[in-house]
Amino acid sequence: MREIIEILATDITPSVKQVLRGQGIPSSARVNATTAELALKAASGFVKLASPCGIIAEISRDDFMSVFEGEGDNAEPTPLANVFSSANSLALFAVTIGETICKEIRRLFDCTDYAQGAMLDSAASEGTQLLADEIETRFRRYLLKSERLDPSQTTMQFSPGYCVWHITAQRRLFEILDPRQIGINLSDSCLMQPLKSISGVLVAGKRDIFDFEDNYEVCGDCRSHSCRERKAIAQNR
C-alpha cells in the first residue's frame, strides 16, 4: 500500500469545543459569547483555508529499523522499539493542511489580531491531528478488509520528536516516504513546512503491545504525556 490521499476540509474540521481545547479550555468550562464567536470563526476559517492531504506507504519491520534508528540519537530504552518489533504491520505517513492557513495565522498575528490568530492556530493544530487520525483510520480499515488485522487488534501513531524517538529520524523518514509529493518539506533542523504537518509511523498489532508505562527516564522531561491519550484511543477502537 502506497497512496496519496486527499480529504475534504469539512471531513476533518474541528468542533468549537476542540478549538477551545487547543486553547487549554476544557469542554466542561463555560465561555463567554466573544470567546465562543472567536472559536466558531476559527472553525469556519479552517474550512475555507485548509487543503488537507496525506501520503502513506507500508514498510517492513526490517526497513523501518533504519527509519527508527535515524542518525543514532535515540535515547535508550524507548517504548517504540518494543512496540514496532511486535507489530503485525507498519506504515509511514505524513499529512498537512497546507500553507494557506499557516499564512493566514501569521497575517493575523502580524496585524496584532492575537485572539483570532490564536484561535485559528488552535483550529489548524486540531484539524491536522484529525487528519492524521483519518489516515490512521483508513489504514486500519485497509488492513481489516484485507484480513491482515484482527478486529480485536488496534493501531497507534508515533512521530519523531515524541516517545523518545529523536526528531532527526525525520530525515530518513523523508528519504523513504518523500512527502515533498504533497508539498511538505523538511528544514535543516528537521522542522516541517508547512508547520501544520504531522509525520510518523502507524503501528498495527495486538493491543497489549501498546500497553506501556510512560515511566522511562526521559519521560520525566515530557510536559504533555500525550501518549496516555493516544494509548487510550488505541485501546478503545
Cβ pair 126, 12 in contact under 8 A = no
Architecture of the CATH domain 2-235: 3-Layer(aba) Sandwich (3.40)
Chain-centroid distance of CA 58 in Å reads 17
Q: What is the pLDDT of residues 115-129, one digit of tens each?
A: 999 999 999 999 999
Chain-centroid distance of CA 170 in Å reads 13
3 state DSSP class of 38: helix
Radius of gyration of the CA atoms of the chain, in A: 18
Bridge-partner residues for 157, per DSSP? 202
Q: What is the pLDDT of residues 119-161, one digit of tens each?
A: 999 999 999 999 999 999 999 999 999 999 999 999 999 999 9
Residue whose entry in the numeric block shows the C-alpha cell 487488534:
153
Chain-centroid distance of CA 47 in Å reads 19
What DSSP string describes 127-173?
HHHHHHHHHHHHHHHHHHHTT-S-TT-EEEEE-TTSTT--TTHHHHH
Query: Which amino acid, one-letter code, is at 171?
Result: R
Global confidence as pTM: 0.93
Domain ranges of the chain: 2-235
Q: What is the pLDDT of residues 30-52, one digit of tens each?
A: 999 999 999 999 999 999 999 99
Cβ pair 21, 63 in contact under 8 A = no
